[in-house]
Structure 1
Amino acid sequence: MRNDLQGLEIGQKELQKLTNLPVNDELIILIHPMKRLLSQIIERAKGSEAATVVFLGMTTLVFSYVAFDVIIRVFAHWVTIPSWLLLVISSCSVGILTQIFFYFLWKQRSRTVTQNMTHSLKILLNDVERYNAVIKAIDINDQIEAAGNSGVNLKERNKVIEALKLTRNDLVRALKTEKILRENKKFIVSKLELFADNLATLTAMQVSEQASEHGRLLNEALQIALDVQQEMKSLQSQGS
């Protein structure tokens, strides 16, 4: 991703901080990180680090088994099944219980979002998704251009980036305001800057070439800003 795009995307952690809700939370599936770790080990084993990877892997397995076997012999000498089989059963049991814990935690967090979801927040979250999609589209276009396709370069890129920055500021302000009003239903917002928007600036930047790629991206940013402005008006009426 080019430098001018870095930091523009509104990521999950930032979005959760702005809303004070676990929005867009995904269920942790234990097998997924295990697959990624296994893939990394296999990739390294294919390269020059093969001997090191095999040695560390075998050492870890042997040490884990020996440590488990010693614990069983000292604290659970009455167990009659082989320690290696008990290790397998214990590992599977811990994995299943951990996955169940993650599932109920995810359900609880999802329930929290559902209970606190407002009409304005739903619209703003959709606008954030559209905004991030625009950034992703530009990033993909940049990668295609970097691959040697100079004909797909984005014209007036600076204007598009500036429009995205302005839109980002409006989205952040709207999300902050929605959180304040949601958490303080009787609170009247007194800071006028929370309702300030850059719509006029975005409108002035709109280009005449509606069919061009940079024009389409600018219009998309403008449309998001219009939606945000509408929700800000709605939030103002709620706070009054």
Structure 2
Amino acid sequence: MEGEQTTDLIRLQLRRQRALTGMNQEEFGRRTRFSASTVSAVETGTREIDLPYASRADEILETGGLFQSLLKMAQRDELPSWFKPWLDAEAVARQLRYFHPTLIPGLLQTERYTRTVLRFDDTRPEAEIEQQVSSRLERQKILARERPPQVIAVMDERALRLRDAIMAEQLAHLLRLAELPHVHIHVIPADAGLHVGLSGPLALALLPDGSRVGYLENQLAGEVVNAEDALTTLQARWESVRGVALPQASSVALIKEVESLHGPQ
């Protein structure tokens, strides 16, 4: 509800700011490179506001990033309450560690891969999917900030070998990320056999004050872990999955091998 109220506020202020400049919808659309019908749809609520639209509106209306900031607030407000503490931890962490046995970890996903995963729930409205895609892409910006966190991601080889049209792009994206000095990608080979990571995904964040936060997810929801004994268990399980994964150089070589099976892009 809070997210919807913020979005309604954005629409109202967009309309007011446009009117204050003396621009009608057609002129505003021409200057922002959107059609007049798109401007009308955004202002009346029949089209979702996205970051590209908010960015162009800020530029033309000279609002100093106001609408982008308001939109990010709305997107955060619409996230499940159980996820927000992890989002806060992820945003300030000095180190992030991710493991997923069946998927590419979210921080390393391409836009198309993210959209495909979110569509697993075929009852989810398209507008909600696009909002969550936008939110995940926004989270990924921590990888490119001036002082990014160290990111260590472990995934299973089987997650790389999915025969899907989106995988060539996703694998190429992983290889580009692996070139960053603060991103470390490790793959558990298919012949590793049974290991503790098959019990489910996990994530760990090391915060600036030295404290730790964990995160677990299942089919219905996620759980932020703060209790010291539970964090100790997660740390041990992380060490186990990291221990059966290949070194980074071997992992990158494996990703390249799988990528070559998709042919030239």
Quick check: TM above 0.5? Answer: no
The structure carrying a bigger helix percent of its residues is: 1
Q: Which has the higher contact order (CA 8 A, sep 6+)?
A: 1
Shorter-chain TM-score: which interval? under 0.3
Larger Rg over CA atoms: 1
The structure carrying a bigger strand percent of its residues is: 2
TM-score using structure 1 length: 0.22
TM-score using structure 2 length: 0.21
